[in-house]
Structure 1
């Protein structure tokens, strides 16, 4: 679908609620003619929906709309950890358990990523060094990466995991260790074709953020830019 994408990851929602919520999100996007279900592409168990050719970008004041630049975006994916999309004979989409589905880990695959403790806000890196690592010994960097690898492996296998911060010694769920290059969660929407910052999304995709986070809970939606 292209080298660039942006993950919008719900880091608060439980898996049971994700299973209930994702079909409602998909149904609304189809009914509002935002995505085109008839032109869906499937990669593994991920259904990638192109934007509907008649979709017009809503303005923030809801008074007017503007043309949507289809050339910038390849499509949209709605992912639930451990599940993929199926379609019945009537063309209706439903979730089905799948071993080929997303594992609920969303990260920058271009060399590495960093994570940030939700309590002391210090960062640890995985794959490549971040600025904070310059003052750390090789043994400490290796110990941090081993801890991250172990926590991610447990999440991958069990769907629940905690990571203890090397700095403040606080243990937190892996979902709370979000940064601009990493997030974990049971529900995510992927925009294919571009990398966006949170500010970009607030300006251009406020309707999507409102759909995912109607109560505007702080830090609920992690935004991860990725190059695959």
Structure 2
């Protein structure tokens, strides 16, 4: 899932289906639209997804590869690029345009999450004592992501929001992300050797397994 753009405090979530979200935490915002467009063209071109999106409020592309859906449970794929939205084009497909609600914040549907300081590993969640810096960083991220730093209440280190990881895989920030609708691919994080899930991850471009994984719940 993604959040509506936060202003102060925690933002409000948009409801959707149960999903697995792969988030590129390293890609710069200026490169996100090109990454999403490139993946769309490849997946639509080889018949993996429909070139036409569904669900106007949260665009997703139906998976046409029946074997993929059978093996993984994924029935649709969403492609996210910060500050962009999908629109129909005159050729029967879709393209990205500037604007829209995409802000690169992904988490559980109920808005709860816990992340850990990359320096001392202390957990931090919205509403915790000392979480004001986290909530401020979420607001800053949408306008000036390179300035979104979090002060750890435990060790006082200031570190980029992108480096804070969620042990429960319920939060990540990044300007390019891929939503897989229909299942929680737990094998991506629990160490199990699920060949179909690994192949899908590679098919989506995350060959090194570097993307953060977020499991969303309705």
**TM-score range, shorter-chain basis?**
0.7 to 0.9
Q: How does 1:41-56 map to 2 (within 5 A)?
A: 41-44=54-57, 46-52=58-64, 54-56=65-67
2:25–2:174: 8 Å Cα contact kept in structure 1?
yes
Instruction: Give aligned pairs, total.
Output: 197
**Which of 11, 29, 34 is equivalent to 2:48?**
34
Q: Which residue of 2 aligns with 1:9?
A: 23
What value does the CA root-mean-square deviation take over the aligned residues? 2.4
- In the alignment, which residue of structure 2 is the partner of 1:83? 84
How big is the shift at 1:156?
2.5
Alpha carbons 1:33, 1:55 under 8 Å: kept: no
Give the Cα–Cα distance (whole angstroms) in 2 for the partners of residues 101 and 208 of structure 1.
27
Matched with 1:189 is 178
Task: Give the alignment's TM-score, normalised by structure 2.
Answer: 0.80
Question: What secondary structure, in the 3-state scheme, does the structure 2 residue paired with 1:156 have?
Answer: helix
1:119 paired with 2:119, answer yes
Q: Does 1:213 align with 2:206?
A: yes
Q: Give the secondary-structure state (helix, strand or coil) at the position aligned to 1:8.
A: strand
Gaps of 5+ in 2: 1-14
Instruction: Provide the TM-score with structure 1 as the length reference.
Output: 0.76
Question: Is the CA contact 1:73–1:191 (under 8 Å) kept in the aligned structure 2?
Answer: yes
Paired residue secondary structure (1:172): strand
Bigger mean CA offset, 112-121 vs 7-16:
112-121
Name the counterpart of 2:139: 153
Unaligned runs of 5+ in 1: 58-67, 128-140
Q: Is the 8 A contact 1:2 1:192 kept in 2?
A: no
- From the two aligned structures, give the one with the greater helix fraction: 1
Please give the secondary structure, in 2, of the residue aligned with 1:36.
strand
Q: Distance in 2 between matches of 1:10 and 1:43?
A: 24
Query: Which residue does the alignment assign to 2:158?
Result: 171
